[in-house]
Amino acid sequence: MQEPEQAYTDDSIDNRIVLAHVICTYRREDAVQRKLDLLSPLTSDSYFIIVIDNGGTLDERDAEGVTVIRAPNFGGSAGFARGMAEAIRKGATHVILNDDDAELETSALLRTFDFLRHLKPEFKDICISGIMLDADNPNIVYEAGAQVIDGSIIPLKHGIDITDEKQLLALSSEERIDYANWTFLCLPVTLIKEHGLPLPLFFREDDVEYGLRLKAKIITLPGVYVRHPTYTSSYRPVNYYYYVRNRLVALCCSGHIDETILERFFDEMALEASAYRYLSCEEMILGMEDFLKGPDHVYGLCMHGMHKAPGIATDDLDTLRRGLDLIPEAPKEDFFKRRKSLNGAFRSPAGDLETTPFDMDSAHFYRIGKVLYRTGKDEGFIAERSRSKAIAYAARITLLRRRAMKALPGLQRQYRGTRDYYSSFGFWERMFYQEVKE
């Protein structure tokens, strides 16, 4: 099997590379400082660091290869857009987008820089995705790039153990990558100038849209690892709002969407309700409602900060288990009977269940009274069945589905038609300039 370096590089080539490392942060001062302590000794005429501080808690500076810029909190997409624009202004040839809580070693940067320096001219627009490792299990790959299939995200190489020689070999096999998350993405400035900056989506799914828009060749490199908490390592209802709203925007702007794909979002809302995760069901509905209001409304929300959503109060698992009638599994019933009864909402409960918030099978919750959801090793929360909420959410989902199906064709045209304006350098410059003046 040919290694990526052999396929795309030539040691006789010595490209001039100026690498800008863009870190967007919000009130993670300690994490950013650790990263700067590690990386700042590498700064030179060919490598510099730009930190966009959306929280306004870091001291501004522009010296010794490190620039820290305080910015209004328009979200991660705005922070990375600001950093990308600043990197171009400073003469970068390539930009690395790197989340503040994504940990990496200096070897990852050195491998990336060396690869770019020897890159063949025909591959000048290639992008490099870091291989994301599970921060809680740092030998396990969470994803090495991802594909977007029928509106769903498929993480590549998920579950590979990098300490296993056979599995490590499989990690080197090349697959089509549709997008790379911004725990670590290195891309050439030429692509940014050609396709514009990220859309003002505040955070989540902005990397999906950008990858779909670029349609670039994306690869992974051996040893270019980044450690980051997985996207299923915590349960926050607000994430469900951004998942629905921003995934739909991404698909309308730069991907593919049809009624079948749209239908799945409503099925997922119904699943959240059937599992008594009423808070996340509510946030999915709110995300859909904002999406239906069109691009001007969605992008305008970026200036108003993070969407407000209730959090989850957790407690010790042993404490929560007291008083529950835990059973190993829910009673068996076929799908159509479960759907007719709103997953057993009108039948007497058979007992209580313990699981995780990412149990995605409605059959597991049939006739369950209470659910203890584990959100960590020693903590969790309890969700309880409510007949009134089951009825109310079933009605809301049905009515919203009808609205969305009718509006989809027009919304596709609106989102696609305004994409280039809202991702332009001019739009972002006006946004930041006006906010500063105000």
Tell me what pLDDT residue 73 has. 92
Judged against a pLDDT cut of 50, whether residue 237 lies above it is answered with yes
Residue corresponding to tokens 């096999």: 173
User: Would you say 75 and 83 are in contact if contact means Cβ atoms under 8 Å apart?
Assistant: no
The average pLDDT across 161-168 equals 92
Q: How far apart are CA 121 and CA 12, in angstroms?
A: 12
Which residues in 215-288 belong to E strands, given as ranges?
218-228
Which stretch of DSSP H or E encloses residue 64? none
Q: Buried b vs exposed e over 291-328: b needs ≥16 C-beta within 10 Å?
A: bbebbeebbebbbeeebebeebebeebeebeeebeebe
Judged against a pLDDT cut of 90, whether residue 234 lies above it is answered with no
Tell me what pLDDT residue 2 has. 47
To the nearest 10°, the Cα dihedral for 233, 237, 243, 249? Answer: -160
Q: How far is CA 116 from the centre of its chain?
A: 26
Tell me what pLDDT residue 438 has. 38
Judged against a pLDDT cut of 80, whether residue 184 lies above it is answered with yes
Judged against a pLDDT cut of 70, whether residue 140 lies above it is answered with yes
Q: How confident is the model at residue 3 (pLDDT cuts 50, 70, 90)?
A: low
- The top-scoring range by mean pLDDT among 163-177, 214-228, 335-349 is 214-228
The average pLDDT across 228-244 equals 87
What is the average pLDDT score of the chain?
A: 94
Percent pLDDT > 90 in the chain is 88
Tell me what pLDDT residue 434 has. 63
pLDDT digits (tens, 9 = 90+) for 200-221: 999 999 999 999 999 999 999 9
Query: Can you tell me whether residue 172 is helix, strand or coil?
Result: coil
Q: How far apart are CA 435 and CA 437, in angstroms?
A: 5
Q: Which domains does the chain have, with CATH numbers?
A: 4-233 (3.90.550.60), 237-412 (no CATH)
Q: How confident is the model at residue 436 (pLDDT cuts 50, 70, 90)?
A: very low
User: Would you say 326 and 355 are in contact if contact means Cβ atoms under 8 Å apart?
Assistant: no
The amino acid present at 16, given as its one-letter code, is: R
Percent pLDDT > 70 in the chain is 97
Residue corresponding to tokens 């007497």: 348
pLDDT digits (tens, 9 = 90+) for 390-428: 999 999 999 999 999 999 999 999 999 999 999 999 999
The average pLDDT across 179-208 equals 97
Question: Structure tokens of 160?
Answer: 């590979």
pTM above 0.75, yes or no: yes
Tell me what pLDDT residue 437 has. 41
Tell me what pLDDT residue 249 has. 98
Judged against a pLDDT cut of 90, whether residue 284 lies above it is answered with yes
pLDDT digits (tens, 9 = 90+) for 77-97: 999 999 999 999 999 999 999
Judged against a pLDDT cut of 90, whether residue 7 lies above it is answered with no
